Structure 1
Amino acid sequence: MNYGFYDILQLFGSLGLFLFGMKVMSDALMRLAGDKMRKILATMTSNRFLGISTGFFITSIIQSSSATTLMVVSFSNASLLTLTESISVIMGANIGTTITAWLITLLGFKVSMSSIALPLVGLGFAFTFSKKENMKNWGEFIIGFAILFIGLQFLKDAVPDIKQNPDILEFLTRYTDLGFWSVLLFLFIGTLLTIIIQSSSATMAITLIMTAQGWIPFPLAAAMVLGENIGTTITANLAAVVSNYHAKRTARAHLIFNVLGVIWVLVLFYPFLKFIEWLVAQTGSESPYLSAAAIPVALSLFHTTFNVSNTFLLVWFIKPIARIVERLVPAQIKSEKEIDEPKFLSKTVMKYPETLIVSLVNESKYLYENAIFEIVTHGLNIHREDIKSDLRAKKIVKKSKEDFKTDVRDMYYRKVKSIYGEIIRYATTGQSTLQITKSQNDRISQIKIANRLMVEIIRDVRELNRNVSQYLFSENEHMANEYNKFRKKLVKVLRTIYLFRTQDETGREQYYAKLLKLKKEAKEARNQSSKSIDKLIRKNLITVEMASSLVNDNDNVNDVIKHLIEVAEFLYVEKDSLIENGKD
């Protein structure tokens, strides 16, 4: 066999060129349609069939099942997709990846692309000089598309011709005449090749070339295709290693789904191939058992039929598959982190704008519902459980008679400052490094504003807390009454916010209307002292210092109310207008 080291290097170089073309093409398509694809993925998976359609559509557009599954794993990691939704999308992605095989078969084997590939590179290169970003991306897509087929042509030329090297056939015969063991062997080879190359499309291209050159018969090529379906799951499983258990479950589900598909096809392997032969005959082609030239089409048909059949067979077993995965990957009970450590923010969420935004929202909500809620209630000497109870506000105020001795400053440094800094850092980094739309940029800005308002709430509560502790238990009953009024007012707001954020979408409307009313009242009451305070001042029932404290704290209370409601709006209601209160 006259096939030396230089020829092997040419083979690897051709494969590299093919993979490079596919990467350039896929990356350009992701830039062209990535944000739209991710938006579809995040919103169009409400039932299993819609999820399958979404997975198929996205993979068909971006020409990469690996990119789709990596998106699904990232979205699962950020809790944007449930496990059952993720499984259905992956099922669709498996069907979508068959488009690539048809593209290679029809254009790479049926049509000579070599004559137009270089002109396409020139056309695409001209597009890259455009000032419009979309035109540049279209240019890169055309270049990637052309390079892919140039690489495929080189790959076909680099593979040794079996007529000139008959000893190859003699070498392969040792492994192709082992009956069903040969099928299992080539299944393993297909799996291994895909794991090494990290591209089922590239392995499919190699398989198609091997069959076109007459290296291996149709059944063994089909076995390699089955192996590729297992090997392609490794990408998602590797990505999930550093992710949470949601992402790990999604990756394992992908593996289980593909392995189950391979098992049932292996059981029906030869009848299934006869069915494919019959389908090929219906198209007017020769039998893949008799003609090597007919194998590429038959193989693409096998790939498509297998994935479509497997999906529509196992779609009814999504929930059982989910239960198996949940047993294999149990939920991880997170060890209690210090409050100033992020619970939802990590490097993995920075991959896509959607995962970053949902993680920023979750982190901000956690901060708001825990640390801020605790600081506000304890700063006013109120128990958090009383806010969540059915007790009337007046009773809550009356029963909370002890001084909590809350150090608001200390609580801010221990429970808020660090996490607030991380939220702002992630948000700002995302805005400057990720390719985000205007609406996504606006949403991140909303989250930043919400967090700044939380810090302002703490500042106002700190001022309130000092005077609440001083006057609530003073001998001057008038001062105690006024501060109890402040507390009662805040109890009503905190309870309405609690009820608003814990209701489902339909139940929120009435509480949101109450919050808007309370916010309006707080805005109007800002810088307006109450009649009771004026009366106390006129009758000299309080000192000048006490009067000053009451007037200032009246403003502080209304500021806290206004800011608490605004944060709730920013985090739980998608607001169209960001700058309504003059903030940037």
Structure 2
Amino acid sequence: MDLFMVLQLLCGLALFLFGMNSMGDGLESLSGGKLEKTLEKMTNSTMKGFILGAAVTAVIQSSSATTVMVVGFVNSGIMKLRQAIGIIMGANVGTTITSWILSLSGIEGDSLVMQLLKPSSFSAVFAFVGIILLMFCNSEKKKHLGTIFLGFGILMVGMDQMSAAVEPLSNDPTFTGFLTLFNNPVFGILAGALLTAIIQSSSASVGILQALSKTGAISYSMAIPIVMGQNIGTCVTALISCIGAKKNAKRAAFVHLYFNIIGTLVICALFYGSNLFINYGFLNDIVGPENIAVIHTAFNLLATAILLPFNKYLEKLACLTIKDKDEDSDVPFLDERFLNTPSVATERAKSLAEKMARLSEGTLLGALELVDHYDEKVAETIHENEDMIDSYEDVISTYLVKLSSKQPSADDNKTIQLILHTI
């Protein structure tokens, strides 16, 4: 693999990641915060949380984004740890939709229908329509739709470029010899985890594996452990996001990690243990992009089916890892993790402003009562409340200034201005 092939691969990866990020941002903005509000409210059972987590992740195309959002909800006290577990499991299943979209690049056939289904046939149209909507429409919704279309087109171009970059490797004996290392499940899992941890996206690392599969050098025995490892590597984003967070937020991140590690260990034991007796003949068969999508989906569904009934034990394990400690719950707090999802951040700021308003109202009425009936203890409480109200104003205004730099939608921007005037 020469320098120019490496540069082409990196360029394809850059386009792929940028396209996926743009598409996710567009979908996020188009939803107007509705997905996040639903995520926040409809989690009174683990199964509901699972379905919701899968649905939201399938829409925003990122299990990492969903998990980080959930860590933020738990950190803010909006969601309990038990509610978060179902959503985290669902996010792992929802993220498999990306691999199915990418598997379209492996479609072969000369019929008109098959040709139209190939990304090379429609990605250019999506990108062109997207740029038209983005540049020439004044409607915010149409602009967001344009971002989604353009992001999808760029994502597919990046995927094609990665595939083209690695195509010559199919005849390279050094490369094919190196890949035989991944026949060992331990090396395969470590490789998948490391790659995903570096680029912080399981969807992207699965996309790279799908691109490599087009060389005809990837077998089931290599792909299965790599996909398992990719699910472990994606936990890095949530673990990074919980740094400096409260104990329950850290526990939510560790639930994500334990779920993927235990799921991988259990499935590995079942699969490779049964292989000793059954001897799965397909392990040496070559996989294509669609086969990797099947492996990715099957692994996540099976891991969820095995561990969903034991969600309480995952919670206990996370609680044993992160011990209880005293935390000051009265201090006004806005989680900066939400700044990357402006619609959620706006709602959180609005919610805290409403809390500030109720405290201000109660403090004002209490102060008025002191005019007729002075009480030293009440007066002291009034002074404490006044200091707390000042803290609210400082926290909210600082947060909104940071939020304004994140390019919120026009509706969110109006709400931000309203909150600033209100406080």
Q: TM-score range by the shorter chain?
A: 0.7 to 0.9
The structure whose Rg is larger is 1
Establish whether residue 300 from structure 1 lines up as the match of residue 293 from structure 2.
yes
Q: 1:149 to 1:271 in 2, by over 3 A?
A: farther
Post-superposition Cα deviations, 1:164-203, rounded to whole Å, max 9, x if no partner, equal 3223223434x256xxxx1110100000000111111111
> What is residue 463 of structure 1 aligned with on the other side?
none
Please say if residues 103 and 289 of structure 2, whose CA atoms lie closer than 8 Å, have aligned partners that are also in contact.
yes
Q: 1:122 aligns with which of 103, 125, 128?
A: 128
> What is residue 131 of structure 1 aligned with on the other side?
138
State the shift of 1:357 in Å: 3.3
What letter is aligned with 2:332? K
Distance 1:408 1:240 in 2: 34
> What is residue 113 of structure 2 aligned with on the other side?
none
What letter is aligned with 1:241? I
Q: 2:332 aligns with which of 323, 331, 343?
A: 343
Please say if residues 344 and 362 of structure 1, whose CA atoms lie closer than 8 Å, have aligned partners that are also in contact.
no
Distance 1:413 1:97 in 2: 45
Structure with greater proportional helix content: 2
> What is residue 57 of structure 2 aligned with on the other side?
59
Establish whether residue 27 from structure 1 lines up as the match of residue 34 from structure 2.
no
Establish whether residue 112 from structure 1 lines up as the match of residue 121 from structure 2.
no
Q: 1:195 to 1:429 in 2, by over 3 A?
A: same
Please say if residues 364 and 423 of structure 1, whose CA atoms lie closer than 8 Å, have aligned partners that are also in contact.
no
> What is residue 210 of structure 1 aligned with on the other side?
212
Establish whether residue 9 from structure 1 lines up as the match of residue 7 from structure 2.
yes
State the shift of 1:431 in Å: 8.9
What letter is aligned with 1:121? A
Q: 1:176 to 1:45 in 2, by over 3 A?
A: closer
Q: Secondary structure at the match of 2:324?
A: coil
Establish whether residue 147 from structure 1 lines up as the match of residue 154 from structure 2.
yes
Give the % identical residues: 29
Establish whether residue 415 from structure 1 lines up as the match of residue 417 from structure 2.
no
What letter is aligned with 1:165? D
Establish whether residue 425 from structure 1 lines up as the match of residue 397 from structure 2.
yes
Please say if residues 74 and 355 of structure 1, whose CA atoms lie closer than 8 Å, have aligned partners that are also in contact.
no
State the shift of 1:272 in Å: 7.3
Post-superposition Cα deviations, 1:64-116, rounded to whole Å, max 9, x if no partner, equal 11121121111112111110111101111111111111111134545532233
Q: 1:448 to 1:253 in 2, by over 3 A?
A: farther
> What is residue 327 of structure 1 aligned with on the other side?
320
Once superposed, what is the RMSD of the aligned Cα atoms? Answer: 3.5
Please say if residues 38 and 354 of structure 1, whose CA atoms lie closer than 8 Å, have aligned partners that are also in contact.
no
Q: Give the 5 Å matches for 1:339-418.
A: 342-345=331-334, 347-348=336-337, 350-351=339-340, 352-361=345-354, 380-382=373-375, 411=383, 415-416=387-388, 418=390
Distance 1:106 1:57 in 2: 21
Q: Secondary structure at the match of 2:230?
A: helix
Distance 2:364 2:106 in 1: 61
Please say if residues 20 and 152 of structure 2, whose CA atoms lie closer than 8 Å, have aligned partners that are also in contact.
yes
Normalising by structure 2, we get a TM-score of 0.83
> What is residue 540 of structure 1 aligned with on the other side?
none
Distance 1:133 1:185 in 2: 47
Q: Give the 5 Å matches for 1:243-322.
A: 243-270=245-272, 289=283, 291-292=285-286, 294-322=287-315
Post-superposition Cα deviations, 1:259-286, rounded to whole Å, max 9, x if no partner, equal 1110101101236789xx99xxxxxxxx
Q: 1:86 to 1:7 in 2, by over 3 A?
A: same
Normalising by structure 1, we get a TM-score of 0.62
State the shift of 1:362 in Å: 5.1
Distance 2:208 2:396 in 1: 48
> What is residue 90 of structure 2 aligned with on the other side?
92
Please say if residues 32 and 134 of structure 1, whose CA atoms lie closer than 8 Å, have aligned partners that are also in contact.
yes
Please say if residues 247 and 323 of structure 2, whose CA atoms lie closer than 8 Å, have aligned partners that are also in contact.
yes
Distance 2:172 2:387 in 1: 72
Q: 1:332 to 1:154 in 2, by over 3 A?
A: same
Please say if residues 288 and 298 of structure 1, whose CA atoms lie closer than 8 Å, have aligned partners that are also in contact.
no
> What is residue 114 of structure 2 aligned with on the other side?
none
Q: 1:346 to 1:123 in 2, by over 3 A?
A: closer
Structure 1: give runs of 5+ residues left out of the alignment. Answer: 279-286, 383-402, 452-584
Please say if residues 131 and 150 of structure 2, whose CA atoms lie closer than 8 Å, have aligned partners that are also in contact.
yes
State the shift of 1:216 in Å: 3.2
Distance 1:123 1:349 in 2: 30
What letter is aligned with 2:302? S
**Most deviating of 306-315 and 255-264:** 306-315
Q: Secondary structure at the match of 2:210?
A: helix
> What is residue 168 of structure 1 aligned with on the other side?
175
Distance 1:413 1:346 in 2: 22
What letter is aligned with 1:421? E
Please say if residues 211 and 218 of structure 1, whose CA atoms lie closer than 8 Å, have aligned partners that are also in contact.
no
State the shift of 1:363 in Å: 5.7
- Count how many residue pairs are aligned between Structure 1 and Structure 2: 405
Q: 1:196 to 1:373 in 2, by over 3 A?
A: farther
Please say if residues 220 and 284 of structure 2, whose CA atoms lie closer than 8 Å, have aligned partners that are also in contact.
no
